A and B are shown apart, each in its own frame.
Chain A
Amino acid sequence: MIQTSRSARGWLLAGAALSALAGPAAAQEPKRGGTIIVHMPSEQRILNPALRASTGVYNITGKIMEPLIDKTYDGPVGVLATEWSSTEDGLKITVKLREGVNWHDGKPFTCDDVAFSAMELWKPLLNYSSTLQQYLESVDCTDDHTAVFNYSQPMPLDLFVAAMPDLGHPVPRHLYEGTDIMKSEYNTAPVGTGPFRFVEYERGQYVIAERNDDYWRGAEYPYLDRIVWRFIPDKSAAAAAIEAGEIHESGFNGISMADLQRLSEMGGFDVGTQGYENNVAHSTVEFNHRNPILADLKVRQAIYHGLDIDYAIQTIMRGYAKPGRGPIPSAGGANYTDDVPTYAYDPELAKRMLDEAGYPAGADGIRFKLRHRPAPWGEYTQFWAEYFSQAMKEIGIDVEILTNDAPGFLNGVYRDHDFDTANGWHQFRSDPAVSTMVWLRSGSPEGTPWSNQFGWQSDEMDQMIDAAQAELDPAKRAERYHEIQAKAMAEIPVIFAIEHPFISVTTTKLKNHHNTPRWNSSSWYDLWLDE
């Protein structure tokens, strides 16, 4: 198992859980050729990661278009960038670009492409990135392969680097310049620098990409001839296709937990959370603080005490999860701490606290009623809502579940505030500044989805978040995030109840799979098929 390649080291670092998967694979000589078929449960339709920041987009385009920097188990590694540095005041970030890289149409990749992408797409058009890059003033090209990002407010280099794997995909300037970017034909027929070039997108059926013979890592890569992504919306049918050998890989919980467990016991499949360290999500309970009952901290604490998180992890997530410790998951690296207040499962204590808060049980055993909106994002959120309702009944709170589809949920919670409690599934994106802080910071425009629209506001918290975001020293920055985490756990504006990575099922014929922390979004240049 001891090899010097980056991927092999990655396997070792990630710990004992994967030794069973990696052992035989690392020893074999990779084979060239083959077509692999990947299951996609839904369709994103836009295939431009510089226009849509979404794992569903990266799953496909990650093989075709590459970011400046990607994340490995050894930390950030340059892809289209080779070096990066920042001035002391944090106002200038200089990125050296890789030389000798060509777009799939044969034109060379240069700093012009990066400058154009940053100013015309990343800053004005890309979701999440427009917040990250709001102080980006300009990008200068001092030579063909050096890009200088100029900021009007300090930009921590750590934050920039952490964001690049998701929010740093350049597009070819010569194909986009002077056109309506939102309507460009290349948004659905991407041209990139990656190991695979786009061939065909048949709506509702599949996307095909084939080997790029001119890949910059050398003629050896990629190993595969072709990748096909098949859209199968029905989870049971997808599970059958995997079992019948028609599909090699299904990621992001594309099939039901029951089928995942069944396939993992069948043999011939690797099932696990390996490769999702960068795609961790929280299952939450969100409160509408406009409701005076929920505005009472004691009530929120009692609700937390009333939830048997470990039971939910075992039954709903089948053990593939951990209890949450505030807005930063344990995958958050140095910014994470577990030194925070916690709320152990104790229904008797919860009942006493509710009595003390002034909500005694009535004759029917009910203290008060809550209207709960579950987000319609897959299996976990529905089950977690049902468990929440059940657990609350135990401590005398009657929870009525209002089922809704995506637009109904987003409007009901974020725009109309027509809920008492809600639960969702929210991804942590490498750095708290570009992801979970929006849950706690006030001041998002009224009605913005995925932001603090809960009627909760704390000036102290706002200041702490702003200070952490502007802090340039990594150690001090981490310390500030630890303080935020502790405060969020003490005041519980939102319960970040469970942190869970996603789960993949992969045929054991695939080798070198799930060897980076955002593997399903990565380029798969070293993936090979043993057939």
Chain B
Amino acid sequence: MHLSQVLSYALRRLLQAVPVVLLIMVGTFLLLKMAPGDTVDALVGDMGGADAAYIEKLRAEYGLDQPVWVQLWRYMAKIVQFDFGWSFVYEKPVATILWERLGTTLLLMGSSLSLAFTIGVVLGAVAARRAYSLTDNMISTLGLVFYATPSFFLSLMMILLFSVKLGWLPVGGVKTIAAFHTGWAHVWDVALHLIMPTAALSLIYLSFYLRLMRASVLEVVELDFVRTARAKGAGEARLMVHHIMRNALLPVVTLLGLQFSTVLGGSVVVETIFALPGLGQLAYQSVIQRDMNMLMGIIFLCAIIVVIVNFLTDLLYARLDSRIALR
């Protein structure tokens, strides 16, 4: 796999992505316009009412009195210059708000996914090696329980136990407000706040990796090259790490790629319950508020991330299994 090969592959993928992203943007814009009401309706709903002149003024101010095609044209003309526009709900540029929210979401999703991936893969492999033993049954049952528990229930029960009853962890938010921690005290404070949301999210993801890894290992174990390796006298540890794991990881990496694409969506439920200012909550609020510019900005960002992550996943495939070529 030469660098020039990778670069030309990247360029081709990039060119292919442009029409895809454009199509997504136009499609979403029209779809959102079909929802009843606009951001002015949502705003006056929040305010508890307003008179007609005021509402008309807001609509003109936001450009919502124009035909849909004019609005679409104006928006697309801006987005191709990477101008995300202005959020009328937050009264700030969309790009600024996205940037503010991105950190929280990346921190939450990054820590949950890596935790879930690592533990899931290890537990899955262990379960598969001791298939149908007591260990396997315990791990599989646990996975099933996590898989079946709704995240809102898990989150609330954790709050009830660790915050209300035991008083060990804060209920929500990203930091203790008005404590004004700095340096390591601040890092520790944020870490404390993220324990429960990370646990709630990763327990659910974990079950996916666990089950997939177990099935995948069981399949690979039966293959000829494993028997060959064993016949050559490879030890069980080497066999597991070099021969089985590497091959068994392929479908698990596919899943990781897929889930990473949804990172920006965050988890609406967990973010809402723990009052974390992430992108998932922002997207949900933007739908309720009909905040078009914000929603389009989030979707644009998501589309870009999906394209990038897909590209990286393909590269990783080639690395894991040299039979796969980049073309």
Contact = CB atoms under 8 A, between A and B. Distances in A.
Interface of A: 35, 37, 42, 44-46, 52-57, 125-128, 130-131, 182-183, 187-188, 202-206, 208, 226, 228, 230-234, 236-237, 240-241, 243-244, 246, 404-412, 426-427, 444-445, 447-451
B237 interface: no
Contacts of B233: none
The 6 closest A-B pairs by CB, nearest first: A407-B37, A204-B277, A127-B50, A406-B45, A407-B41, A450-B49
A127 B163 contact: no
Contacts of B44: 127, 410, 449
| Residue picked from A232, A426, A427, most chain B C-beta under 10 Å | A232
Contacts of A405: 288
Contacts of B156: 236-237, 240
A240 B171 contact: yes
Given A127-B47, A234-B272, A243 B164 contact: yes
A447 B51 CA distance: 10
A347 B214 CA distance: 63
Contact of B42 (A243, A406, A447): A406
B46 interface: yes
A246 B179 CA distance: 12
Interface of B: 35-38, 41-42, 44-55, 57, 61, 89-92, 97, 100-101, 155-156, 159-160, 163-164, 167, 170-174, 177-178, 272-275, 277, 281-282, 288, 290
Given A45-B89, A127-B54, A182-B61, A407 B174 contact: no
B35 A407 contact: yes
Nearest to B97: A203
Contacts of A131: 51
A211 to B, nearest CB: 13
Contacts of A240: 156, 159-160, 163-164, 171
Nearest to A233: B272
Contacts of A234: 272-273, 275
A35 B35 CA distance: 43
Given A54-B46, A187-B91, A240-B159, A407 B38 contact: yes
B275 A230 contact: yes
A405 B46 CA distance: 12
Given A46-B91, A204-B101, A208-B177, 19 more contacts: A35-B178, A44-B47, A56-B46, A127-B54, A203-B92, A203-B97, A204-B277, A208-B178, A236-B273, A237-B156, A240-B159, A240-B160, A407-B37, A408-B36, A410-B41, A410-B44, A427-B48, A448-B51, A449-B50
Given A204-B101, A230-B173, A230-B275, A410 B52 contact: no
A411 B36 contact: yes
B178 A37 contact: yes
B178 A54 contact: no
A42 B163 CA distance: 22
Contacts of A203: 90, 92, 97, 100, 277
Contacts of A230: 173, 177, 275
Given A232-B172, A237-B159, A204 B282 contact: yes
A411 B171 contact: no
A246 B170 contact: yes
B53 A130 contact: yes
Contact of A406 (B37, B90, B177): B37
B36 A407 contact: yes
B55 A448 contact: yes
B286 to A, nearest CB: 12
A130 B290 CA distance: 25
Nearest to A46: B91
A408 B46 contact: no
27 contacts: A44-B46, A45-B89, A46-B91, A56-B46, A128-B49, A187-B91, A188-B91, A202-B277, A203-B90, A203-B97, A204-B281, A205-B275, A205-B277, A230-B173, A230-B177, A232-B172, A237-B159, A241-B171, A244-B167, A244-B171, A406-B42, A409-B45, A410-B44, A412-B36, A448-B55, A449-B45, A449-B49
Contacts of B35: 407-408
B104 to A, nearest CB: 9
B164 A130 contact: no
A444 B172 contact: no
A42 B46 contact: yes
Given A234-B273, A237-B274, A240-B159, A206 B281 contact: no
B171 A237 contact: yes
A489 to B, nearest CB: 23
Nearest to B176: A246
A45 B39 CA distance: 14
Contacts of A53: 47-48
Nearest to B160: A240
